[in-house]
Structure 1
Amino acid sequence: MECRYNEVTTTHAQPPAVFSPDTLTSNAAKYLTSKKLDNSSNALSKIDGAFVGTSPRPSKTALMVTPGRFSPASSLFICGMEESKKQTHCLVCPITGSRLPEIRLQDIIFTKVDTRAEEYKCLGTGVTSAVFEGQVVINNCGLKSVAVKLFKQPFDNLEGISAEAGLLKMLEQTGITPKLFGILQRTSEGNQPGIVQELIQSSITLHQLIVGTPFITKQKWYNIAYQLAFGLKSINEQGVLINDLKSDNILVNISTDDCRLTFIDMGHASYMHGKRFPMTTEQASICRHLAPEIANGEETSESSEVFALGVIFKDIPLEELSFISHKCLSKIPLLRPSVYDILNFVEEIM
C-alpha cells in the first residue's frame, strides 16, 4: 500500500505486533542477517533483510475525531518520494520541518554477545524491525551507547520511518522517551534503513517487572503508576497518540529509587491524527491493549489510549488501582476518565 503522510486520510493498518524479546541475534536471524553487522574494521557493510512472512508497517493517517484538543496538521512529511530518490540529505522532521541527523552505518559498532563473529546482542524483535545494541561516535564527543532499530523496508519507503524519528525528536522535551541520535544514512551498498536512538541502561520491560522479576516495593509501584499517567499525559499534550501503549513498550530503570520509566517504540504513533487497525476476532483477542472500538474499526483517540493504560493498571499488583482501571476499561469511550482524572486519582492514593 502506498504510504503518504502529507494527506489526511483513513488508515488501514495491520494491528500492532506482539513484542517478542530476544537476547541473541541468532534468535533474530529470521529478521536480519546478523553476520552483515560486523563493522569492527570500519568497512562499509550491507544489512540484508530476511523478514520471511512479515507484514509492512502501517501506512496512512486519519483525522482524529476527538474535538477541541488538536488542530489539523498541515503536513506530516515534507520531502516527497521523488525528491528522496534524488537527494541523500532530504529527510526532515515531519513535525518541525528541520532535517533529521544522518549517521553512517560504518560508524556504528554493534555489540557482540561473545567472541563469535556472527553473534550480536538483539534487544527485541517485531514484525517489521529488530533492535540491536551498539555504540557510535556523536559529534566527536566519544562513544555513545545506542539502540539501533533496523527495518525491513527499503530506503524507497521512508515516510513511516522518518515520521517515527520525527516524533521521537519532538518528544525529547518530555524526558520520557529515548533521545534520537539520527537515521542511518543510505549507502551505495544498499543497507537497511534504521533509527539510532539512546540506549536505556539498566532497564527491563514493565511486562517483565509485572510478571515478577524482580520484586519491588509497593511504593515503587505507586511511582510507576504515577509515571505511566504523567507520561501518557505529556505525550498526548504534544499532539501525539502512541496507538500501541502496552507494558512491553515501556522500560523500567530498576537501578533508580523511583523506577524511572521510558516510553519506547513510536512505530504506530500518530501526530494530530488517529489510526484504524482492522483486525479479526482472533487478532483482537491477542491485542488486548487495543480498545474494543478499535477492534470494531473505529479510529484511535485519547480515549483508546486511556483504555490501554487501564489494561496496564489492571496488571499492576496494586489493589488501589482496581477502581480506576475498571473505569478506564469501560467499553463506552465517553465513560472513560481523562488522563488528567487518572493522574489526580493516582496522586491521591500515593
Structure 2
Amino acid sequence: MQGGIILSETSIPAVREIGIIMNGVSGRMGYRQHLVRSILAIRDEGGFELPDGTKVTVRPLLVGRSEAKLAEIAERHGIEDCTTDLDAALADPKWEIYGDFLVTKARASALRKAIAAGKTIYTEKPIAESVEESLEIARLARDAGVKAGVVHDKLFLPGLQKLKRLIDSGFFGRILSVRGEFGYWVFEGDWQPAQRPSWNYRAEDGGGIIVDMFPHWHYVLENLFGGVKSVYAHASTHIPERWDERGEHYDATADDAAYGVFELAGGAVAQINSSWTTRVNRDELVEFHVDGTHGSAVVGLFGAKIQERNATPKPVWNPDIEDTVDYDATWQNVPTNDVFLNGFRQQWQEFLTSFVTSTDYPFDLLAGSRGVQLAEAGLESSRTGTKVELPELSLD
C-alpha cells in the first residue's frame, strides 16, 4: 500500500479508500440522502471507477450526540465506526473528509473545527447564519489550504439535468423568464404529526423557508440561467401556531412561505413561490416553467416537457366562450435517455473524484456564501418592502 492506494502488480492504482466523518446522520437528510443513498450506496456497490481505472471506495465514521442512536444506525447498516467525540475524530488522520449535515445553528462552529484540523470539507447549506460568518469560514478554509464542497443537490436531479441539456442545446433561444413553484402542506402537528422538524418554524432556532430554500434557488438560478442581481421578496408566517414532536404547542416565529422575484444577469426574470402551506396541484413537489423566444419547458424533479415555437397554440381570450383546447396535450415529454443516479450520490461522487484527482471544485464555500447572501437579502427585502441588490462577493 502506498499513500492510501493499493497498487496492483503492474503498479497501476487499483483502490483508493476514503475515510469520511459524517456528522449529523441521525437527522432526516443526513441519514436518508447522505448516508444511506449516497455513501452506503457507494460502499455497497464496491465503489466507483475513475477514468484512470482507480476504484474509489468509502468508509464512514458516524458522529453525533447520542451514542445509542449512532450504535443503532451502525448496527442496522453494518458500519464499524461511530463516536460522540468529534474532536477525536478530527484528530485522526485516517478520516480525510469531514461531512456536515447538522442543523444550521450548529454548522459554523463545527466547520471551524474541521478547518483547524485540516480536513477536506463537504457540507450542507446554508453554511452559516449570516453572509459575514459564511465569508469568514470561506477565508479560513482558503488560508488553511482546505478543499471544500457545498451541497448543490438539485442541480443533479434528472429533471434539472434534462433542463440543462435543453439550455446548452439552444432550445429556448433567448430565455425570458423562469417561474418556480415549490412546496406542500406541512401539518400543524395537533391532529396529525408534522412531517418536518419543529425547529424549522422557529426563527430563534434557525428556521424559516427563506433561510432553507433561497440558497437552493440561488445555485439553481446561478448555474442554469444567470447570477442573481437583485431580489424582491415577501415572507409570511401563515400558520402562527404549531405542535412539536412531543405534541406540545409552540408559537411559529419563522416564515413558512415566501414569494420572490429575482432579476438575473442577462435580463431574465425569475419568480419563485416557496411554501409549506400549500396543497399540491402539480405533477411534482417542485416545478420550473421556463419561457424562451424559441420554446418553453416545464421541469420537475424527474420529468420535463417542452413546447417549441412552431408547435405553440394560438389562444384567443374570450371569457364568454368555453375554451376547448387541451393545452396539456400540446406539450411533448422529454425522454429519459440516460441513467440518472440519486442526485446527492452523484454530487458526492463528483466531489470525491475532485478530491482524489486534486482538481478544482466549482461548488465551494464562496458559492455557499452567495446562497446565504440571497437568503439574507430576501429577509431584508421582506422587512423593508424594497428590492435589494446583491453585490458581488469576494474573499479578498
Q: TM-score range by the shorter chain?
A: under 0.3
Higher strand share: 2
TM-score scaled by length of structure 2: 0.24
Larger Rg: 2
Structure in which a larger fraction of residues adopt helix: 2
